[in-house]
Structure 1
Amino acid sequence: MTRTLSTPAPRAILFDLDGTLADTAPDLAAAVNRLRADRGLEPTPYALLRPTASAGARGMIGAAFGLAPGDAGYEALRVKWFDYYQADMASHSTLFGGVPELLDGIVQAGMAWGIVTNKPARFTDPLIPLIGLQHAGCIISGDTTAHAKPHPLPLLEGARRLGIAPEQCWYVGDDLRDIEAGRAAGMLTVACGWGYCGAVEPAQWGADYLLDTPQDLLELLRATIAPGVLVA
């Protein structure tokens, strides 16, 4: 079904990192399977690990070992997983197809863009240049502010650093907490169906838009610049 777009054009787009801009799951999964190898266990199938990637250690260790924060042994696994991941975080991580073109299109349209992730800065800071995202207008990590997503504070800090009002920003993410944070920050929210998405179906997140590809987002942004364009 098509409809006439009436959404005002944003001045900035803020993105989640893992599962939104970058496919980092292969290296995250490799680190947790090193933990299993240390214990003489077979690797956890990648198909089981990938959907948990946006949840970080909680998701990966939960899928690989059936442990949750507070369980005996969880913290030791988390610390070692962090070490393994930091030692080899970009061997197989890449930007999703269409992301470079999306970011170029945002810049060409005169909009700013930035990154707001729950990934700790010890990983975000070295990873960003390795995967070609060093031109972000702001980079907010999970420990940059006093709260992580789904709290709105990291998104509000991103908008502040860009010098743009939150209501003139869109937030794009592949997890329910991304949409919750974006709504709480007063931003229009976009759920990216190309990401990891977790256990809850993206259609249930309450995002303003649910899109299948980065190209869909670029076309949506172009439509906001040209009001009256028909969009699917």
Structure 2
Amino acid sequence: MPTHTFPRAVLFDLDGTLLDSAPDMVAAIDAMRAARGQPPMPLEQLRPHVSKGARAMIAAAFPQVDEPQRESWIPEFLSHYERELGRHGHLFDGIDAMLAALEAAGSTWGIVTNKPEYLARLLMPVLGWEQRCAVLIGGDTLARRKPDPLPLTVAAERIGVDPAQCVYVGDDERDIQAARAAGMPSVVALWGYRLDGDDPVAWQGDVMIQAPAELIGAAAWPLPR
């Protein structure tokens, strides 16, 4: 019977998995609303949309605006978000200890996010991860992004690990779909952002974890494929 050990490598989604970035994104949305004479929105109203990206955030904040108009506002959102980056958000409880446990076990870790790469890279010095994060791939780094498996397979290649020996951790269905297509074991991060209609059981990840602290022990991680 296989013995549980820490994975050789772990790739993480960023927003809603490692980082509670909702406050930064809501600050960006509120700046857009203020420019249009509208009041701020409650954090809890926008929070479930964060892992769906800029388009979903704008749609939730401006439901009366048609899609082409919302699409044209994405650069404005990203500009506001860049100014708010790292000012309000924070790591989820237990992330620091979990990453330290991986590093102590000799595991390599990196980030595969659908956030634009330049924004993700701006966060690395803020979080103190410039030397710790072995690979970072954003939503615009490659020709395709999650749920396509390409970002995960390229990340594994860059750190020299077979996808089957690497675990992907994410809080959105696209994360689990990408991992499955890449042949990579997956962890559903239940502490992240979800809409009311989301059913993480239906995503069929290898394991579902309630809190990052559970991943401090090797036994919680899925076995290699």
Structure 2 distance, partners of 1:169, 1:156, is 10
SS at match of 1:30: helix
Normalising by structure 2, report the TM-score. Answer: 0.91
Matching of residue 155 in structure 1 with residue 152 in structure 2? yes
Deviation of 1:7 after TM superposition, in Å, equals 6.0
For 2:104 and 2:93, how far apart are their aligned partners in 1? 19
1:90 alignment partner, one of 64, 75, 86: 86
Q: 2: CA distance between counterparts of 1:108 and 1:168?
A: 18
1:108 has 2:104 as partner:
yes
AA partner of residue 120 (structure 1): P
**Structure 1 runs not aligned, ≥5 long:** 228-232
Change (3 A) 1:175 1:224: closer
In the TM superposition, 1:178-197 aligns within 5 A as 178-197=175-194
CA contact 2:29–2:58 (8 Å) conserved in 1: yes
Whether the aligned pair in 2 keeps the contact of 1:120 and 1:141 (CA below 8 Å) is yes
For residue 170 of structure 1, what is the aligned residue in structure 2? Answer: 167
1:196-207 mapped onto 2 (5 Å cutoff): 196-198=193-195, 199-207=197-205
> What is the match of residue 8 of structure 2?
11
Deviation at 1:223, TM superposition (A): 2.0
Does the CA contact (< 8 Å) of 1:26 and 1:92 recur in 2?
yes
User: What is the alpha-carbon distance in structure 2 between the residues aligned to residue 13 and residue 122 of structure 1?
Assistant: 22
For 2:74, the aligned partner's letter is: R
Count of matched residue pairs: 220
- Cα distance, 1:133–1:201 mapped onto 2, change above 3 Å: farther
Give 2:139's match in structure 1, choosing from 138, 142, 152: 142
Identity in percent: 44
Aligned residue type for 1:129: P
| Superposed CA offset, 1:99-158 (max 9, x none) | 011001001111111100010012111112212332111111111111000000000011
Give deviations 1:139-184, integer Å, cap 9, x for gaps.
1111111100000000001101110000000000000000000000
Candidates 198, 203, 207, aligned match of 1:209:
207
SS in 2 for 1:154: helix
CA apart distance, 1:9? 4.9
Q: Distance in 2 between matches of 1:203 and 1:180?
A: 13
Query: How far has the Cα of 1:67 moved from its partner?
Result: 6.2
Give the conservation status (yes or no) of the 8 Å contact 1:35–1:77.
Answer: no
Which deviates further from its counterpart, 148-157 or 75-84? 75-84
Report the Cα offset of residue 98 of structure 1: 0.6
Root mean square deviation of aligned Cα: 2.0
1:29 aligned onto 2:26: yes
> What is the distance in 2 between the residues matched to 1:205 and 1:66?
27
Structure 1 length-normalised TM: 0.89
Moved more, 193-202 or 18-27: 193-202
Report which stretch shifted further, 88-97 or 151-160: 88-97
The amino acid that maps onto 2:87 is: S
Q: Is the 8 A contact 1:5 1:223 kept in 2?
A: no
- Cα shift at 1:207: 0.7
